[in-house]
Structure 1
C-alpha cells in the first residue's frame, strides 16, 4: 500500500521541493552553465524565486551531487570554510548562497578565484555564487576583466503559467482542488516560495493535512486566507517594520523617509529597488530621503539592528534595497500603509509639494539660513536651500529653475528680511515669484529688528518672527525653527483630516 503524502512534504514552506519542482525559464541555460567545467557561475535574482533549488536540481540531473557543498554567506560558521576555498586547488562544486551577505574583502578574493579557475580551466573546482539582483555587477567592481570569464544567469519573476504548473502538481499529489488558485497565482508576485506558502495554508485552513482519498476542494476564501497569513506574519514582522519606519525616532513634521523607502519596496515587482533611481520618479521626497542617503543615516539605521538584515538587504554603495525573506514581501505588500503611517505617528504619506519650506535670503545672512535649514532637515523636513542644490542647478537656466520653487513647489516661503534684502537682485527675483502667495498664507517673514515692516510692506500684518542680531543667535533661531516644525506638523494633521 502506497503511503499517503503529507501536506508539508508537497507544499513545502522551506527546503527543496520534491513533488512541486517546476523548471523556471532559465533552466536550460543554467544546465549548460553548470555542465561547463571550471567556469564560474553567478545566479542572481529576487529572493524566493527558486534560484538555489534550481541549481541543486540541475546538479542532481547531472549526477554530480557526490562532491557538492552548499555554503551560506549569512551563516557565521560557513565563513571560515568559504575563506579556505581561496587556497584550495580542488574543492569540487561549491555553491555559496546569499553571496551578497559576505564582507567586501572576501567578495574580492572570490572574484580573483573565479578568474584563476577560468584561466586554468580547472575541472576539479566549480564555484557557483547565488545572490540577489546585480550580484554579478558587484563582482565587476573588483575585476572588470572577469566579465568574459564567468556566466551570469539572471532569474526573473516566474510567469503565471509556471506558478500554475507548480500548484497543479501539488493538487495532483494531494488530490485537492485549490478553490483560490487564480488568487494565489496573482498574490504570489512571481515567487515559487509564496505560492507554496499560500497553497499550504489554503489546505491547512480547509483541514486538508494529507493526500485525500478522492478529489477534495479547499473551502477558504482568499481574503480569509490572506488575513490569516498576515496575522501570523504580523507576530514576526510588525514591531520590526515599525522600528524601521520610525528611524531613530518619530520626528514632528517629518516626511517619514524610512517609511517611504520600505513603502516603495513593497510596490516593487522585482522585490528590489534602487533608491536613487526611485527618487527621480518621486521628486517630492528628493530632499528627505536623499538626505538619509547622502548623510549615511539609512546605512547607520540599517546596520544598527541585525534583525533588519534578516528580511531586507541594503547596499549603501549602489543604494539597492532588496527583499531577503519572501514572506516579508508578502507582509509589506499587503499592509494598509496610510493606516500604518498614522499609527506610528506620521500623519500623511502623500505630499503635494516637493519642499515644505523654501528659504529666501541674502548672502550676508547665509549663516542664519544655514542654521535654519540644518535644524529643519535634522527633523526630516524638506527644505529648499541653494547650497544643497548646486549640482542640480549646474547648466540650468537659474531663473527657470528657481521660479517654480518659490511660486508653487514649496509649501511655505521663509523670507529672511534683513536691511540688505531689498537691495539684492536675486532676493527681488525670488520675492517677485512668491509675492502672490501672501494671499494664500504661505509666506513666513523673519524680520530683523533693525528692519521692521513698513506700512506699505506686503509682510505687514502677516504672522512672522522678529530676530534681534544683537542678542544670542542660536536661542532665537531655535525658537523660530521650533515654530516652523510645529507649523508643518499642524499642516500635516489638517491635510490628513481632510483626506478622511
Structure 2
C-alpha cells in the first residue's frame, strides 16, 4: 500500500473569496489553504498525476484524465471524453479503467472527498472548487517535464499487440497483466470486446496490428495460423508487418508451426510444464525493456 497524499480538509479551508495558491498568487473564487505542515495543491496534483506506476516507455493515464478535467468547466469527466482528448493514450486510459487501476490508485492516494472514480460508469469526479480551480491553473508543461522518463508524445496507440491460439490464453492473460502493471497499453482481444462488438473485425484488427502497435507478440504453434480465426492475422504479418516488429514466444512443447521462419530471430521460450506466472512476469519485463529501448531511440533522435 502506497502512502496517501496528505489531503486538504474542509476544516482548514478559508472562504472561497480569500484564497491563495501554492505559488502565492491569488485564486479568485477558490478556497485553497496550505500551511507549512501540509503539501500544496500543486504538489498533490503532481503526485496524483504521476499515476500508479511509471517506467521507460510507459504512459500516464491519470495525468491525461486530470489534464482533460482541467480543460473542462465541469468537475465530471468520462473516460471516453479523455480518450477523445488524448487519442494516442486512449488505450492506456481504457486499460486503466478496465483493470480497475484508476479506482484502486485513487483509493490509495487521494481522499474521496476531493477526487473519486466511478468504476461502473468510467467517471472521474473532482469534488469542490479548490481542486478544480488548481487543476485549471496548473502549468501542465511543467508537470510533464517532471516525468522525463515517460514518452508523452506517442507514435503508437499500443505498445504491444498479442496474437495467439486460444490454447495459450492462460499464459497470455498473465503476460497482459504483467505488461499493464509495467505501464504498457496492450491490444488484447478480451480488453477490446466492447469495441470489437458490432465492428468489422478484419478492419479493426488490421489497424490495431499494423498501424497502432509498436510491436506484435506472436506465439507460433501448430494450431496458430491454421484455424480460420487466425488466418487473417497470419497473412497480415507475412505480407505487411516488418519482421523486426514481431516478437515471437515459442512454446517448447509444441510441434513446428507456420511461423517457424521466425525461429532465426530473437525469441523467448515458454515452458508449459513449469509455473506460468513467473515466466509471464519475466517475459513482460523483457518486452518492456525492448519497448523502452525503442522509445529511447526515438526520443534521442528527436533531440
Q: Give the TM-score category using the shorter length.
A: 0.7 to 0.9
Aligned with 1:448 (options 247, 251, 257): 251
* Aligned-residue offset at 1:451: 4.8
Q: Which residue of 1 aligns with 2:116?
A: 314
Tell me the residue number matched to 1:341: 147
Q: Is 1:329–2:135 an aligned residue pair?
A: yes
Structure 2 residue corresponding to 1:466, chosen from 269, 274, 291: 269
Question: What residue is the counterpart of 2:238 in the other structure?
Answer: 435
Contact 1:245–1:256 (CA under 8 A) maintained in structure 2: yes
CA gap of 1:420–1:430, structure 2 versus 1, over 3 A, is: same
Alignment partner, residue 299 of structure 1: 103
Please list every run of 5 or more consecutive structure 1 residues that lacks an aligned counterpart in the other structure: 1-73, 78-96, 99-187, 195-234
Deviation at 1:453, TM superposition (A): 6.8
Is 1:254 matched with 2:67? no
Query: SS of 1:248's equivalent?
Result: coil
Superposed displacement of residue 284, structure 1: 3.2
Change (3 A) 1:476 1:389: same
Once the two structures are overlaid, the 10-residue window that deviates more, 280-289 or 401-410, is 280-289
Q: Give the whole-Å Cα distance in 1 for the aligned partners of 2:92 and 2:113.
A: 23
**Contact 1:267/1:333 (CA < 8 Å) preserved in 2?**
no
Q: CA RMSD in A?
A: 3.4
CA distance in 1, matches of 2:242, 2:159: 18
Structure 1 counterpart of 2:22: none
Matches within 5 A, 1:120-139: none
Alpha-carbon offset, residue 279 of structure 1: 1.5
Task: For residues 442-492 of structure 1, give each alpha carbon's deviation from its aligned partner in whole angstroms, at most 9, with x where no partner exists.
Answer: 100111224577899441432111223334433332221110111112223
Corresponding residue number in structure 1 for 2:86:
282
TM alignment of 1:85-104, pairs within 5 A: none
Q: Secondary structure at the match of 2:272?
A: coil
**Alignment check: 8 A CA contact 1:437 1:443 kept:** no
Deviation per CA, 1:139-192, whole angstroms, max 9, x where unpaired? xxxxxxxxxxxxxxxxxxxxxxxxxxxxxxxxxxxxxxxxxxxxxxxxx9xx85
Q: In terms of Rg, which structure is larger?
A: 1
Q: Which runs of 5 or more structure 2 residues have no equivalent in the other structure? A: 1-8, 17-25, 31-38
How far off is 1:437 after superposition? 5.5
What do the CA deviations read for 1:84-109 (whole angstroms, capped 9, x no partner)?
A: xxxxxxxxxxxxx99xxxxxxxxxxx
Offset, 1:270: 5.3
Cα distance in 1 between the residues matched to 2:60 and 2:41? 19
For residue 249 of structure 2, give the secondary structure of its aligned residue in structure 1: strand
Higher relative contact order (CA 8 A, sep 6+): 2
Shift of 1:357: 0.9
- Tell me, yes or no, if structure 1 residue 476 matches structure 2 residue 279: yes
Give the superposition deviation at 1:241. 2.8
Q: Deviations over 1:168-226 (max 9, x none)?
A: xxxxxxxxxxxxxxxxxxxx9xx8548xxxxxxxxxxxxxxxxxxxxxxxxxxxxxxxx
- Give 4+ residue runs of structure 1 displaced > 6 Å after superposition: 452-456
1:376/1:481 contact within 8 Å kept: yes
- Alpha-carbon contact 2:59-2:92 (below 8 Å) kept: yes
Work out the CA distance in 1 between the residues paired with 2:198 and 2:133: 46
Distance 1:499 1:240 in 2: 31
What is the CA-CA distance between 1:321 and the residue it aligns to?
3.9
Cα distance in 2, alignment partners of residues 353 and 259 from structure 1: 18
Indicate yes or no: 2:275 matched with 1:486: no
Q: 1:379 aligns with which of 175, 182, 187?
A: 182
Tell me the CA shift for residue 441 of structure 1: 1.4
The counterpart of 1:495, out of the listed 289, 298, 301, is 298
